[in-house]
Amino acid sequence: MITINKIISQIDGLKPVPQVLIQLMELIDDKDAPITEVADLIIYEPVITANLLKTVNSVHFGLPRKIDSVHEAVILLGLNQIVDIILMQAMTNNFKTAQDGYGLKEGELWKQSVSSALIAKLIARHLKTDNKHTIFTAALIKDIGKIILNQEVADSLEKIKTIVEKNELSFQEAEKQVIGMDHATIGALVAEKWNFSKQMIFMIKNHHISDKTAIDHPGTQMIYLADIICVMLGIHSEADKLSYQFYDDVIKRLNLSESGLNKIMTDFTSRKDDIFGLLAVI
């Protein structure tokens, strides 16, 4: 069983999200916030600005001229894409390592997390939800608990698999039974320590809808569905295939049509190569 002291120690070892990003997410989800206010928030963070300009000036974007300011980047690429890039840059170092306990090679957890975040945002946009970036961010970091639990899971993998097979439990349920805590709960502890909003903490903690009351929460429903779509598209670990049992219920509660779902999957698939190319330069 993992101890709370060990969890806290490993959370402290993660690269935290800069506090300016918390403010950035609140602003970007506010439809009345001026673009200049959002850009100014970025400008006063030199490391974030430098990393952003390095990325937008990479060959991936192929812009016609060198971009020297955040305001220019926003005009050329759009505020939404700029904020997405900054959020992904903030988390990339934490997620790129291999997670052998979950059957994930180097970079696979990162690719899976970014895919889930972008699909969740597409769902939110399709359903005309206001807090798209909060949902995007929660989906992006919801599996950060896997980084902390990885070694514990690797050491107990056979026992976890046996419980999954014998008791017909999800990997997450067996993980909690064997180790004493699951990755979603630990992810919520990380989000709490980093001062994320209560809404985001809730979505991260319940992204597998282990608490049945979470099935009524629209943001959590969207993140849950985004993960199912990742499984459908083959962007997942072996453990993930056993973790989703509320698909029909979530589709119904979101009032999402089959044509709407297909459009979301098509939109993501058409951009997938471009997205994965971006990850190589972030």
Q: Please count the other Cβ atoms lying within 10 Å of the Cβ belonging to residue 66.
A: 9
Instruction: Determine the Cα–Cα distance for residues 191 and 138; give it in Å rounded to an integer.
Output: 9
Output the pLDDT for position 250. Answer: 93
Output the pLDDT for position 243. Answer: 61
Instruction: Determine the Cα–Cα distance for residues 151 and 237; give it in Å rounded to an integer.
Output: 16
Which residues neighbour 158 within 8 Å (Cβ) at sequence distance 6 or greater? none
| Tens digits of pLDDT across the chain (282 residues) | 788 888 889 999 998 888 888 888 777 777 777 778 878 888 888 989 999 999 999 988 888 889 999 989 988 888 888 888 998 998 998 998 999 999 899 999 999 999 999 999 999 999 999 888 889 999 999 999 999 999 999 999 999 999 988 988 888 889 999 999 999 999 999 999 998 999 999 999 999 998 888 999 999 999 999 999 999 898 987 666 656 678 889 999 999 999 999 999 999 999 988 888 888 888
Task: Please state the pTM of the whole predicted model.
Answer: 0.90
Instruction: Determine the Cα–Cα distance for residues 27 and 86; give it in Å rounded to an integer.
Output: 14
User: Torsions phi, psi of 97, nearest 5?
Assistant: -75, 160
Q: State both tokens at 241.
A: 């295939």
β-bridge partners, 99: 104
Instruction: Determine the Cα–Cα distance for residues 178 and 260; give it in Å rounded to an integer.
Output: 39
All structural domains of the chain, each given as residue ranges with its CATH number in brackets, are 4-279 (1.10.3210.10)
Output the pLDDT for position 108. Answer: 93
Instruction: Determine the Cα–Cα distance for residues 211 and 213; give it in Å rounded to an integer.
Output: 5
The distance of Cα 230 from the centroid of its chain, to the nearest Å, equals: 12
Output the pLDDT for position 240. Answer: 65
Output the pLDDT for position 51. Answer: 92
Four-CA torsion 77, 83, 85, 89, nearest 10 degrees:
150
Treating both helix axes as pointing N-terminal to C-terminal, what angle do 218-232 and 198-205 enclose, rounded to 10 degrees? 40
Q: Rounded to the nearest 5 degrees, what angle is found at the Cα of 26, between the Cα atoms of 91 and 121?
A: 60
Output the pLDDT for position 20. Answer: 84
